[in-house]
Chain A
Amino acid sequence: MDQDDIEMEIDGEDSLDIHVVTPGEVVTRDSAFMRGHGTYTEDETLVASLAGVVDRVNKLISIKPLRTRYNGEIGDVVVGRITEVAQKRWKVDMNARQDGVLLLSSVNLPGGVQRRKNESDELQMRTFFAEGDMLSAEVQAFFQDGAASLHTRSIKYGKLRNGSLVTVPSALIKRTKSHFVTLPCGVDVILGLNGYIWVAKHVPISPEQANQPDALYHNDNEPIADQEREIIARVSNTILALAKHNNFINDTMIVYAYEAGSSHRVKDILKPDISQEIVQTARAQFQEAQQH
């Protein structure tokens, strides 16, 4: 069980040579290594505290668990739901270890609304975000207790409309260049790194509109045609199918899986045999593309 020799694999990703450890297992006795996430030191040895794959980057050893709650990093794009309106701040459910915090000072107030004292009272704050509202935001910092501090200070962030929420395990969302994607089928997808994904009708916002008091925080949906609704539902189900089979999720995979499922009815995509077929086809396509 305990290994006296160091068995380090380079890049634990390779499915043939992954080094799996379980809690309490000695990872290495070489004191030259530094302890990273998922390990602890006991005497001179480095011990695992999680079940997962050993990941070594230079002298830092950490354990990557295969399933865990979202633990963010600064700069992460997240999607969340307002749970509470408090003094000069909102609390946001991000499916993380704690609710995130959105400070009043971290949101865009439309031009023309002056920062007077009374705007911080709760009634006024609810004209921006109220309990239940969905929003996209970026992690700007962390509080000492680990809670994320969010901001929506760019035009691409803010209140979400015209669509619906899909929830997947956060471990399946990979960090990419852009988490705001418009799919070829005409649907917008916001891939929150916390596992919340917003799928909606593509509605462009112009910079002029950004300054209208109503534009940012209104709650009205655009008119949505039946066909658009169907496509939104199809994309939602496709994402859920990928998640069910533990496949990572990014725009490319969604497109492959969408195409693979196009011959099926929207509501059938989640049936076990159909979703399996769709995911396998998409995976094969992905692997083929990788080789070119």
Chain B
Amino acid sequence: MAARLEIVSPEGLRVDGRRPAEVRRVLTRTGVLSQADGSAYIEQGNTKCLAAVYGPREPVKRAGVLHDRATINVEYNVSSFSSGERRAKLRRDRKLLEIGLMIKQTFETVVATTSFPRSEIDIYLQILQTDGGAVHTAINAATLALIDAGIPMTDYVCACSAGFVNDQAILDLNFLEESADVPTLTVALLPKSGKISMLGLESRLHIDKLEPVIALASDGCMQMKDTLDEAIRISTRNLAKTVLH
């Protein structure tokens, strides 16, 4: 039996050298897929996610069409080669469907769907590599891709995860930390209003510990907001320069 891994050392360092409230290095890029209306790529530490957005466009399925607004479809997929152990692809994995639905509901609150009746907006999220935090990385990638596609939103959706271990809250858990039975909370925040639009908890967490974990996760979301916003500003400015009028 291996000794239980010390997630936070007595000196206050985590296995990858981070401090408890430190987010991993984030790298973003938009407009990475030429065929999509909007696309984005995010690396958060070693977690890599690709997002493609199509729409608003003519719906494929008649059944889901709404007469007064656009329907949002989210497909969340994890590549077979993405994690430490190869996962065989299960057709229509229920967990993946559930995550897709959760993300869809999150974005329905911010995307101005009433501007586009009878059309659909498709968000395709592909996890290429996962080292923990796949869901919140995917949400952030989706936000960037929607903005890249020029789809109006009332606010950003910024997400991050936090957990509680060794008597303290830690931010942005990696794979090792997530698999070490650390209760992990994934939070999606709308920065302008400060409202939480999504909350997911994987295991049990004592009610007393909930507040500090949510607070830390929200802080992480605000940090993500700064990172995402900076990226959008730079790419917008660059695009504005090349499209001569």
Contacts and interface: CB of A to CB of B under 8 A. Distances in A.
Interface of chain B, helix or strand or loop or mixed? loop
16 contacts: A22-B229, A23-B152, A24-B153, A40-B154, A47-B154, A49-B153, A50-B147, A52-B150, A66-B150, A68-B37, A69-B56, A97-B116, A97-B119, A98-B56, A98-B58, A174-B245
A231 B134 CA distance: 49
Contacts of A67: 31, 37-38, 148-150, 239
Interface of B: 31, 37-38, 55-58, 67, 112, 116-119, 147-150, 152-156, 190-192, 229, 232-233, 236-237, 239-245
B239 A246 contact: yes
Contacts, number: 113
Contact of A52 (B38, B117, B236): B236
A97 B152 contact: no
A51 B37 contact: no
Contacts of A18: 237, 240
A96 B116 CA distance: 11
A171 interface: yes
Contacts of A248: 243-245
A53 interface: yes
A68 B149 contact: yes
Residue of A40, A51, A93, A246 with highest tally of chain B CB at under 10 A: A51
Interface of chain A, helix or strand or loop or mixed? loop
A13 interface: yes
A37 to B, nearest CB: 9
Interface residues of A, number: 40
A271 to B, nearest CB: 16
Given A23-B156, A24-B153, 15 more contacts: A23-B147, A24-B156, A50-B147, A51-B150, A53-B240, A65-B150, A69-B149, A93-B58, A97-B58, A98-B118, A98-B119, A145-B67, A145-B118, A248-B243, A283-B244
Q: For the complex of A and B, list the 9 residue pairs with the smallest distance between their C-beta atoms, beginning with the closest.
A: A68-B150, A49-B152, A65-B150, A66-B239, A24-B192, A24-B155, A97-B56, A246-B242, A145-B117
Interface in A71-109: 83, 93, 96-99
